[in-house]
Homo-oligomer: A and B are copies of this chain.
Protein backbone atom coordinates (compact mmCIF):
# COMPACT_ATOMS: atom_id res chain seq x y z
CA UNK A 1 0.00 0.00 0.00
CA UNK A 2 1.29 3.50 -0.80
CA UNK A 3 2.05 5.46 2.32
CA UNK A 4 2.10 9.17 3.04
CA UNK A 5 3.63 11.04 5.93
CA UNK A 6 1.52 13.77 7.55
CA UNK A 7 2.88 15.27 10.74
CA UNK A 8 -0.45 16.40 12.17
CA UNK A 9 -3.38 14.06 11.79
CA UNK A 10 -6.56 14.93 13.65
CA UNK A 11 -10.15 14.15 12.88
CA UNK A 12 -11.18 11.54 10.32
CA UNK A 13 -10.99 13.69 7.20
CA UNK A 14 -7.53 14.58 5.84
CA UNK A 15 -6.51 16.75 2.92
CA UNK A 16 -3.13 16.07 1.30
CA UNK A 17 -1.05 19.12 0.42
CA UNK A 18 -0.53 20.14 -3.20
CA UNK A 19 2.67 18.15 -3.65
CA UNK A 20 1.34 14.95 -2.16
CA UNK A 21 -2.01 15.31 -3.91
CA UNK A 22 -0.18 15.51 -7.23
CA UNK A 23 1.98 12.51 -6.33
CA UNK A 24 -1.05 10.52 -5.22
CA UNK A 25 -3.31 11.28 -8.20
CA UNK A 26 -1.01 12.16 -11.12
CA UNK A 27 1.99 9.93 -10.38
CA UNK A 28 0.51 6.94 -8.56
CA UNK A 29 -2.80 7.35 -10.47
CA UNK A 30 -4.86 6.40 -7.44
CA UNK A 31 -8.61 6.73 -7.75
CA UNK A 32 -11.65 7.32 -5.58
CA UNK A 33 -12.09 4.41 -3.16
CA UNK A 34 -8.39 3.38 -3.26
CA UNK A 35 -6.79 2.71 0.11
CA UNK A 36 -3.57 4.38 1.29
CA UNK A 37 -1.56 4.33 4.49
CA UNK A 38 -0.86 7.49 6.48
CA UNK A 39 1.82 7.84 9.15
CA UNK A 40 2.30 10.69 11.59
CA UNK A 41 5.92 9.83 12.49
CA UNK A 42 4.87 9.49 16.09
CA UNK A 43 3.85 5.85 16.26
CA UNK A 44 0.46 5.98 14.53
CA UNK A 45 -0.45 4.26 11.28
CA UNK A 46 -3.77 4.95 9.58
CA UNK A 47 -5.65 3.33 6.74
CA UNK A 48 -7.50 5.89 4.67
CA UNK A 49 -9.72 5.83 1.60
CA UNK A 50 -9.56 8.40 -1.19
CA UNK A 51 -12.82 10.37 -1.17
CA UNK A 52 -12.03 13.12 -3.63
CA UNK A 53 -9.14 12.36 -6.02
CA UNK A 54 -8.34 16.04 -6.62
CA UNK A 55 -4.75 16.39 -7.86
CA UNK A 56 -4.33 19.65 -5.94
CA UNK A 57 -6.21 18.88 -2.72
CA UNK A 58 -6.85 15.19 -2.47
CA UNK A 59 -9.33 14.33 0.27
CA UNK A 60 -9.00 11.17 2.38
CA UNK A 61 -11.21 9.52 4.97
CA UNK A 62 -9.48 7.64 7.80
CA UNK A 63 -11.03 4.23 8.36
CA UNK A 64 -8.59 2.62 10.77
CA UNK A 65 -5.93 3.70 13.25
CA UNK A 66 -3.17 1.62 14.79
CA UNK A 67 -0.99 3.08 17.51
CA UNK A 68 2.48 1.65 18.15
CA UNK A 69 4.53 2.18 21.29
CA UNK A 70 8.26 2.72 20.95
CA UNK A 71 10.17 -0.44 21.85
CA UNK A 72 13.12 1.65 23.00
CA UNK A 73 13.57 2.66 26.61
CA UNK A 74 16.25 5.22 25.81
CA UNK A 75 16.68 8.23 23.56
CA UNK A 76 19.71 8.67 21.33
CA UNK A 77 20.76 12.13 20.21
CA UNK A 78 23.73 12.65 17.90
CA UNK A 79 25.04 16.18 17.46
CA UNK A 80 27.25 16.16 14.39
CA UNK A 81 29.00 18.63 12.14
CA UNK A 82 27.56 18.36 8.60
CA UNK A 83 30.19 17.07 6.18
CA UNK A 84 31.67 19.24 3.43
CA UNK A 85 30.16 16.82 0.91
CA UNK A 86 26.36 16.97 1.26
CA UNK A 87 25.86 13.43 0.08
CA UNK A 88 27.94 12.02 2.92
CA UNK A 89 25.70 13.78 5.46
CA UNK A 90 22.62 12.48 3.67
CA UNK A 91 23.95 8.95 3.99
CA UNK A 92 24.47 9.50 7.70
CA UNK A 93 20.84 10.63 7.97
CA UNK A 94 19.52 7.67 6.01
CA UNK A 95 21.61 5.01 7.73
CA UNK A 96 21.04 6.20 11.29
CA UNK A 97 17.29 6.40 10.61
CA UNK A 98 17.37 2.78 9.45
CA UNK A 99 19.48 1.68 12.43
CA UNK A 100 17.61 3.77 15.02
CA UNK A 101 18.10 7.34 16.20
CA UNK A 102 15.79 9.81 17.96
CA UNK A 103 17.33 13.20 17.33
CA UNK A 104 19.96 14.60 14.97
CA UNK A 105 21.44 17.99 15.78
CA UNK A 106 23.60 19.55 13.05
CA UNK A 107 26.27 21.64 14.76
CA UNK A 108 28.64 24.29 13.45
CA UNK A 109 32.13 23.89 14.84
CA UNK A 110 35.25 26.01 14.48
CA UNK A 111 36.68 23.66 11.86
CA UNK A 112 33.38 23.10 10.03
CA UNK A 113 33.74 23.43 6.27
CA UNK A 114 29.98 23.45 5.79
CA UNK A 115 27.87 25.96 7.65
CA UNK A 116 24.47 25.30 6.12
CA UNK A 117 22.18 22.35 5.49
CA UNK A 118 19.27 21.68 3.15
CA UNK A 119 16.68 20.91 5.83
CA UNK A 120 13.84 20.21 3.42
CA UNK A 121 15.88 17.68 1.46
CA UNK A 122 17.13 16.05 4.67
CA UNK A 123 13.55 15.79 6.00
CA UNK A 124 12.56 13.94 2.84
CA UNK A 125 15.43 11.49 3.36
CA UNK A 126 14.36 10.93 6.98
CA UNK A 127 10.76 10.24 5.93
CA UNK A 128 11.79 7.94 3.11
CA UNK A 129 14.20 5.97 5.35
CA UNK A 130 11.54 5.71 8.08
CA UNK A 131 9.03 4.27 5.60
CA UNK A 132 11.57 2.01 3.93
CA UNK A 133 12.77 0.51 7.21
CA UNK A 134 9.24 -0.13 8.43
CA UNK A 135 9.43 2.26 11.36
CA UNK A 136 6.64 4.43 12.70
CA UNK A 137 8.68 7.04 14.57
CA UNK A 138 10.36 9.84 12.64
CA UNK A 139 13.70 11.03 14.05
CA UNK A 140 13.78 14.72 14.81
CA UNK A 141 16.12 16.88 12.75
CA UNK A 142 16.97 19.90 14.89
CA UNK A 143 17.90 23.31 13.51
CA UNK A 144 21.54 24.08 12.84
CA UNK A 145 23.15 25.40 16.01
CA UNK A 146 26.63 26.54 17.02
CA UNK A 147 28.73 24.06 19.00
CA UNK A 148 29.05 26.52 21.86
CA UNK A 149 25.35 27.17 22.14
CA UNK A 150 24.57 23.47 21.93
CA UNK A 151 26.97 22.26 24.63
CA UNK A 152 25.56 24.92 26.93
CA UNK A 153 22.05 23.51 26.62
CA UNK A 154 20.75 20.96 29.11
CA UNK A 155 20.48 17.22 28.49
CA UNK A 156 19.10 14.53 30.77
CA UNK A 157 21.39 11.56 30.20
CA UNK A 158 24.96 10.51 29.46
CA UNK A 159 26.87 13.17 27.47
CA UNK A 160 29.78 11.97 25.35
CA UNK A 161 32.23 13.59 22.95
CA UNK A 162 34.05 11.49 20.31
CA UNK A 163 37.14 13.54 19.52
CA UNK A 164 40.45 12.52 17.95
CA UNK A 165 42.87 14.37 20.25
CA UNK A 166 45.12 12.16 22.36
CA UNK A 167 44.35 11.74 26.04
CA UNK A 168 42.53 9.28 28.23
CA UNK A 169 39.37 7.98 26.60
CA UNK A 170 37.16 4.99 27.22
CA UNK A 171 35.68 3.05 24.35
CA UNK A 172 32.16 4.21 23.50
CA UNK A 173 30.89 0.65 24.03
CA UNK A 174 32.07 0.82 27.64
CA UNK A 175 30.53 4.26 28.22
CA UNK A 176 26.93 3.45 27.27
CA UNK A 177 24.49 2.00 29.78
CA UNK A 178 21.36 0.18 28.53
CA UNK A 179 18.18 2.16 29.08
CA UNK A 180 19.97 5.49 29.56
CA UNK A 181 19.54 8.49 27.29
CA UNK A 182 22.69 9.15 25.29
CA UNK A 183 24.02 12.27 23.61
CA UNK A 184 27.13 11.97 21.43
CA UNK A 185 29.05 14.81 19.81
CA UNK A 186 30.78 14.04 16.49
CA UNK A 187 33.15 16.63 15.04
CA UNK A 188 33.86 17.86 11.50
CA UNK A 189 36.52 16.55 9.09
CA UNK A 190 39.23 18.54 10.92
CA UNK A 191 38.04 17.36 14.37
CA UNK A 192 36.91 19.63 17.19
CA UNK A 193 39.13 22.52 18.14
CA UNK A 194 40.99 21.94 21.47
CA UNK A 195 39.05 24.89 22.92
CA UNK A 196 35.78 23.14 22.00
CA UNK A 197 36.90 19.90 23.64
CA UNK A 198 37.87 21.85 26.77
CA UNK A 199 34.46 23.54 26.88
CA UNK A 200 32.64 20.22 26.41
CA UNK A 201 34.60 18.61 29.24
CA UNK A 202 33.77 21.56 31.49
CA UNK A 203 30.10 21.03 30.63
CA UNK A 204 30.26 17.40 31.73
CA UNK A 205 30.84 15.61 28.42
CA UNK A 206 32.91 12.43 28.72
CA UNK A 207 35.55 11.79 26.02
CA UNK A 208 35.12 8.50 24.18
CA UNK A 209 36.90 6.58 21.45
CA UNK A 210 35.17 4.81 18.56
CA UNK A 211 38.07 2.36 18.19
CA UNK A 212 41.41 2.25 16.40
CA UNK A 213 40.24 3.07 12.89
CA UNK A 214 40.35 6.62 11.58
CA UNK A 215 36.73 7.10 10.54
CA UNK A 216 35.21 9.73 8.30
CA UNK A 217 32.68 12.01 10.03
CA UNK A 218 29.62 10.25 8.62
CA UNK A 219 31.08 6.81 9.37
CA UNK A 220 31.81 7.90 12.96
CA UNK A 221 28.18 8.98 13.27
CA UNK A 222 26.84 5.68 11.93
CA UNK A 223 29.22 3.63 14.10
CA UNK A 224 28.28 5.64 17.22
CA UNK A 225 24.57 5.18 16.50
CA UNK A 226 24.94 1.46 15.94
CA UNK A 227 27.06 0.97 19.07
CA UNK A 228 24.34 2.51 21.26
CA UNK A 229 21.58 0.50 19.55
CA UNK A 230 23.55 -2.73 19.84
CA UNK A 231 24.15 -2.28 23.56
CA UNK A 232 20.43 -1.69 24.04
CA UNK A 233 19.44 -4.61 21.80
CA UNK A 234 17.63 -7.42 23.61
The answer to the question of A216 belonging to the interface, with a C-beta cut-off of 8 Å to chain B, is: yes
- B residues less than 8 Å from A100 (CB atoms): 213
CB atoms of B219 and A71 under 8 A apart = no
The answer to the question of A229 belonging to the interface, with a C-beta cut-off of 8 Å to chain B, is: yes
192-234 of chain A: CB within 8 A of chain B: 211-216, 219, 222-223, 226-227, 229-230, 233
CB atoms of B99 and A219 under 8 A apart = yes
A222 to B216, CA, bound (A): 14
Known: A211-B233, A222-B226, A230-B230. 7 other contacts (CB 8 A): A95-B219, A98-B215, A99-B215, A133-B213, A134-B213, A211-B230, A223-B226
- B residues less than 8 Å from A229 (CB atoms): 211
A78 to B197, CA, bound (A): 37
Pairs across A and B, CB under 8 Å, 28 listed? A91-B91, A95-B222, A98-B213, A98-B214, A98-B215, A98-B216, A98-B219, A99-B213, A99-B215, A99-B219, A99-B223, A132-B216, A133-B215, A133-B216, A134-B213, A134-B214, A135-B213, A171-B233, A173-B230, A173-B233, A211-B229, A211-B233, A222-B226, A223-B226, A226-B227, A226-B230, A227-B230, A230-B230
A91 to B71, CA, bound (A): 29
Closest B residue to A171 using CB positions = B233
A223 to B132, CA, bound (A): 17
- B residues less than 8 Å from A213 (CB atoms): 98-100, 133-135
**A220: min CB distance to chain B, Å:** 9
A100 to B211, CA, bound (A): 10
